[in-house]
Each structure stands twice: as structure tokens, then as C-alpha cells.
Amino acid sequence: MQMQLIRNATVKYQYGGHKFITDPYLAAKHSRPSFTGKSLNPLTDLPCSPQEAISGMEMAIISHLHSDHFDPLAQELLPKDTAMICQPEDAEPIRKMGFREVLPIQERMEWRGITILRTSGQHGSGEVLSDMGTVSGFIFKAKGEPLVYWTGDTIWCEPVAQVIKEVKPEVILTHSCGAVWGKQVLIVMDAAQTVAVCRAAPQSKVAAIHMEALDHATVTRAELRRYAEAQGIGPEQMLIPADGEKVFF
């Protein structure tokens, strides 16, 4: 398995003999609105051209339709014959974008030898949850490949803990920028919650993504590394890839 972090939650995979991408967010630096008033988004440029980011992708998995996960440029540039796997409520909006092969997943599906399971999460807490709406994570399984759990936009919560306990993933991807919403309510994992994932899954490699791209983030890569090491979690378990970095498992 090879994964390449492009930016935010946009990751390119070579897995099970196929190539696919998650949550393509291709906007140029500072071309999208701010979430907090601090800065236009995204905060960084892509490490490659938008066209290179999506080149050769047979399939895309869209965790949800928030603008930092599937933006207008990605909707325009991604070939319309790309297989689009999504949560059921997002299928019709994606079809209206012109995509011809939209594959909503309720719980489980097989795609060209890859088993994909959808998981739930909690994109915040309290009143913020109604603003955030439904989000999904995904599990990937294929012969000869590590079992991968991509948590999606979620905080550390019981559904995530349950997946780790039951599935025992070999690789876990967390969204770890500590983004906040409204009255500073955490809507994805921060450093402490990412460490909690590592402790719940001591045999897993944890790759922290969705970092340093948006103005509502509160945790940098350096801060996450310092906190994790202070808690006894080193780089042999927690990976914090840079934009553009390739990781092999």
C-alpha cells in the first residue's frame, strides 16, 4: 500500500491494485472563504498541480460535502466517469454535479476487489452537531494489503473506539488539526484525542492528516509531535506526513 497526502484530507492511495483519492480539495491558496475571520482558506498551496493530484484516479471517496472536503474546483476537474463512493444522503447532490457512477454506501460494498465499509463518527458535540450534519469514516480491506481505517471528520468518541476494538486496523488515519466551530467547540481530533487513538490501538500505525490547511485549526504538526512525544507516543507509531509526502505500508 502507498498513500500520498496531498493536503487536508485529500489522500491518494495505491491499494489492492487500484488508485483512488479521498476528499479532493484542490482550491488554490487563499481562494476560498474564511471559517473564523482569521484568514482566507486554504492556508497552503497544493504540493502539485490540481491536475496532477487527480491524475489516474479510478475512484474517489467523499466522506461528506463540506467545502474543505470536496470543493468546486475538484467538482469541476475530476473526470465525470470517476466512480464516486459517498454516504447515501450525498448521492443525489453528487449526481447533480454531473458524475455518472455514484455509489452510495450504507454499510458495506465491494469495489474491484476492495472491501469498503462505512463507519460513523461525531463531528463535534452539543449544538454544533446539527450544524455539521452527517459524516462518515471508511475501512478498506484487500488481499495482501493492510487493513485501513480512515476516521473522517470526527472527534474521539465511542463509535471510533468501537471500530478500533472490533476491527483492529493496522493503519488508522485521523483528522488531527483540532478544528473548532461556534463557541470554540472541537469538531475533529486535537493532540490529546489523537494520542488517545494511539493508546487504544498500540499495534496500529496512526497517520495524522487534515492539518495546517484551514483557519479554524488549533493544532500544528509540530505541536502534535511535541505533545505525543511528551505522552510517550513516538514517530514509530504516530506518523505526521507533510503535504506531498508518500508513505508506504
Written as nine digits, the cell of 157 is 468518541
pLDDT in tens, 119-176: 999 888 877 777 787 889 999 999 999 999 999 999 999 999 999 999 999 999 999 9
- Give backbone dihedrals phi and psi of 96, rounded to 5 degrees, phi first: -70, -15
Q: What is the DSSP string of 38-51?
A: S--B-SS--SS-HH
Phi-psi group of 43: left, alpha or beta (phi > 0 → left; psi -120 to 50 → alpha; rest → beta): alpha
Alpha carbon 158 to chain centroid distance? Answer: 19
At 125 the pLDDT is: 82
Distance from C-alpha of 79 to C-alpha of 131, rounded to nearest angstrom: 30
Domain holding 43, by residue range, is 2-236
Asked if residue 242 belongs to a domain, the reply is: no
Asked if residue 81 belongs to a domain, the reply is: yes
Asked if residue 243 belongs to a domain, the reply is: no
> C-alpha distances in angstroms, 186 versus 123, 181, 226?
8, 7, 20
Is the CB of residue 245 less than 8 Å from the CB of residue 44?
Answer: no
Q: Where are the alpha helices (DSSP H) in the chain?
A: 50-54, 72-77, 91-96, 128-132, 158-167, 191-200, 221-230
Q: What is the pTM of this model?
A: 0.96
Distance from C-alpha of 14 to C-alpha of 27, rounded to nearest angstrom: 23
Asked if residue 246 belongs to a domain, the reply is: no
Here the CATH number for the domain that contains residue 200 is 3.60.15.10
Q: What is the pLDDT along the chain (249 residues), one digit of tens a residue?
A: 999 999 999 999 999 999 999 999 999 999 999 999 999 999 999 999 999 999 999 999 999 999 999 999 999 999 999 999 999 999 999 999 999 999 999 999 999 999 999 999 988 887 777 778 788 999 999 999 999 999 999 999 999 999 999 999 999 999 999 999 988 899 999 999 999 999 999 999 999 999 999 999 999 999 999 999 999 999 999 999 999 999 999
DSSP 92: H
Asked if residue 245 belongs to a domain, the reply is: no
Asked if residue 113 belongs to a domain, the reply is: yes
Beta strand segments in the chain, E: 2-7, 10-15, 18-22, 59-62, 83-86, 101-104, 108-111, 114-119, 137-141, 148-150, 171-175, 180-181, 185-186, 205-209, 238-239, 246-248
